[in-house]
């Protein structure tokens, strides 16, 4: 049996009752986080333009744009909501698979659910199962792509659409055969590379949205009788051979979970800072030192960072920071470990306000320090950090070292890892609620009372008879 058919059968036929309470609670935490970062991003660079374009195109009034409340065709609503969720790079991350999934799956689940009049429970279960499917393909994809040409694909854009396609198929009530065709149609659209990230452009925040839009196209066209290839993962021109020149996983590898194993959504991580996850350990270390010592710029003689993060990190966040003439310097800052360290040392925090275009341009003290930070790949006295042997990538346990040499002759060191700062347990529901309220305050459009109302609504998400009742609460304009 093909991998597509195995995954389609799983997504379409798994009874809702088999989705555990732990998975449901983690799913609601992911929903709350995605809605929060979307509210914070409603007027972020690029978002008003996307909203304007989706509105100009018009069409059937099927689904809601979060915050704006605009009624749009489902693919347009999903696209806009996905761009908002990913705009600040503050959305969640499944580190073992290297995927940002809530920014794809929630927009697709809400848009499809609204269009069909589906319940909150139906949407939640579809999101969880779609998350599972994406990770079951994303894990072997991430493990096989290595540091060669496969590094330059953007996994969320390539893989996320498969899980979202099957989530939409489940909500649409499609058969397994139709869902298999939908996966084939999605594969015809799959893509996404890191060039926008390397050049620090706004296209980076749109890339998961293409996967969300593609998923809705794929499921909807399959429902209309369009056919697609079945061997999209293991075929001669299938995903693994074409994208990363690798042998595809076996059915046993993809479907190896046993009853009682946690759902993949339970291994999802909520971000603490408004930046790439690879920058989190050094940012946290800098904040701790900054709050302890209350540094002024003149106190700092030299700052050195060492990550040993390998190809997944060093090409993304561990390059020298240069403000350059970028019209959107926040993207430069979001993907710079040096900037995270500079803002942490001098300002003692790294939230939304520290990463706006205006702040990055105006806080020249932070930018100048970031440009002067020395980045090395090895230290003669590199600390040892215990490697936990599981399917998380090796780089999550490699030491990230911050060295601060002060003007009065002191040398201060902090060592951290991605797992310790960004592991699945780092942010529980309570800390995620705090983050949500921070996002609401930053937005300037969501009152404390409204924020509390949305938090309460997410906690009872399954009780909504129609998911449109939930999206109506998220219309803030």
- Domain residue ranges in the chain: 3-271+427-473, 277-422
Q: What local confidence, expressed as pLDDT, does residue 146 receive?
A: 76
For residue 153, the cross-strand partners are: 193
Q: Where are the alpha helices (DSSP H) in 245-390?
A: 251-254, 280-293, 311-314, 329-334, 337-347, 357-362, 364-372
Residues near 463 by beta carbon (within 8 Å), at least 6 away in sequence: 120, 121
Which CATH superfamily does the domain covering 3-271+427-473 fall into?
2-methylcitrate dehydratase PrpD (1.10.4100.10)
Q: What local confidence, expressed as pLDDT, does residue 310 receive?
A: 56
What is this structure's pTM?
Answer: 0.95
CB burial class (10 A; 0-12, 13-18, 19+) of residue 408? exposed
| Dihedral sign (CA 455, 457, 463, 466) | negative
Q: At which residue do the structure tokens 């020149």 appear? A: 245
Burial readout 245-262 (b: 16 or more C-beta within 10 A, e: otherwise): ebebbeeeebeeeeeeee
Q: How many CB atoms lie within 10 A of CB 4?
A: 28
Q: Which two tokens stand for residue 43?
A: 């007027």
Q: Note the CATH number of domain 277-422.
A: 3.30.1330.120
Full DSSP string of 234-257: TSTTSHHHHHH--PPPPHHHHT--
Task: Kindly compute the dihedral angle of the four CA atoms of residues 127, 139, 267, 377, in this order, to the nearest 10 degrees.
Answer: -130
Helix (H, G, I), strand (E, B) or coil at 50: helix
Q: What is the number of residues in the chain?
A: 477
- Across 68-169, the runs of DSSP E, i.e. the strands, are 71-72
Q: Are 165 and 104 in contact (CB under 8 A)?
A: no
| Rounded Cα distance, 309 and 299, in Å | 28
Q: Where are the alpha helices (DSSP H) in 146-275?
A: 155-172, 176-187, 195-198, 203-223, 239-244, 251-254
pLDDT 10s per residue in the chain (477 long)?
999 999 999 999 999 999 999 999 999 999 999 999 999 999 999 999 999 999 999 999 999 999 999 999 999 999 999 999 999 999 999 999 999 999 999 999 999 999 999 999 999 999 999 999 999 999 999 999 876 778 899 999 999 999 999 999 999 999 999 999 999 999 999 999 999 988 989 999 999 999 999 999 999 999 999 999 999 999 999 999 999 999 999 999 999 887 789 999 999 999 999 999 999 999 999 999 999 999 999 999 999 999 865 544 445 788 899 987 888 899 999 999 999 999 999 999 999 999 999 999 999 999 999 999 999 988 888 787 777 778 887 778 889 999 999 999 999 999 999 988 888 888 999 999 999 999 999 999 999 999 999 999 999 999 999 999 999 999 998
Residues near 257 by beta carbon (within 8 Å), at least 6 away in sequence: none
Q: Read off φ and ψ for residue 99, nearest 5 degrees.
A: -125, 135
Residue 443 vs residues 270, 352, 353: alpha-carbon distances, Å: 19, 10, 10
């Amino acid at each position: 049996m093909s991998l597509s058919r195995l995954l389609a059968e799983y997504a379409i036929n798994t009874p809702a009752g088999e989705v555990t309470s732990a998975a449901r609670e983690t799913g609601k935490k992911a929903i709350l986080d995605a809605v929060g970062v979307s509210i914070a991003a409603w007027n972020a660079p690029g978002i008003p333009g996307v909203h304007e374009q989706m509105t100009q195109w018009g069409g059937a009034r099927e689904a809601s744009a979060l915050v704006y409340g605009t009624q749009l065709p489902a693919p347009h609503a999903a696209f806009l909501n996905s761009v908002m969720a990913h705009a600040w790079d503050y959305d969640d991350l499944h580190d073992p698979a290297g995927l940002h999934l809530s920014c794809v799956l929630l927009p697709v689940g809400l848009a499809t659910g609204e269009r069909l009049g589906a319940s909150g429970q139906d949407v939640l279960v579809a999101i969880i199962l779609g998350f599972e499917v994406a990770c079951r393909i994303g894990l072997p994809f991430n493990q096989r792509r290595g540091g060669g040409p496969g590094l330059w694909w953007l996994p969320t854009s390539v893989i996320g659409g498969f899980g979202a396609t099957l989530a939409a198929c489940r909500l649409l009530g499609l058969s397994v055969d139709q869902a298999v065709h939908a996966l084939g149609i999605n594969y015809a659209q799959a893509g996404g590379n890191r060039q926008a990230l390397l050049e620090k452009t706004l296209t980076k925040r749109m890339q998961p949205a293409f996967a969300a839009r593609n998923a809705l196209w794929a499921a909807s066209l399959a429902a209309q009788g369009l056919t697609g290839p079945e061997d999209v993962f293991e075929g001669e021109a299938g995903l693994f051979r074409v994208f990363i020149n690798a042998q595809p996983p076996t059915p046993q590898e993809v479907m190896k979970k046993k009853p009682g194993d946690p759902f993949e959504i339970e291994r999802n991580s909520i971000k603490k800072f408004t930046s790439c996850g690879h920058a989190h350990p050094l940012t946290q270390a800098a904040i701790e030192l900054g709050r302890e010592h209350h540094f002024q710029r003149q106190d700092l003689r030299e700052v050195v960072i060492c990550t040993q993060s390998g190809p997944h990190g060093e090409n993304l966040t561990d390059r020298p920071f240069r403000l350059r003439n970028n019209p959107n310097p926040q993207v430069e800052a979001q993907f710079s470990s040096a900037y995270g360290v500079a803002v942490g040392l001098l300002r003692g925090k790294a939230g939304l306000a520290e990463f706006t275009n205006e702040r990055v341009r105006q806080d020249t003290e932070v930018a100048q320090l970031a440009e002067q930070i020395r980045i090395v790949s090895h230290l003669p006295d590199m600390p040892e950090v215990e490697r936990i042997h599981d399917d998380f990538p090796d780089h999550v346990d490699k030491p990230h070292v911050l060295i601060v040499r002060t003007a009065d002759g002191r040398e201060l060191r902090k060592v951290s890892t991605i797992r310790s700062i960004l592991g699945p347990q780092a942010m529980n529901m309570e800390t995620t609620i705090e983050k949500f309220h921070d996002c609401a305050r930053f937005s300037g459009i969501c009152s404390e009372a409204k924020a509390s109302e949305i938090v309460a609504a997410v906690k009872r998400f399954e009780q909504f008879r129609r998911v449109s009742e939930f999206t109506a609460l998220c219309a803030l304009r």
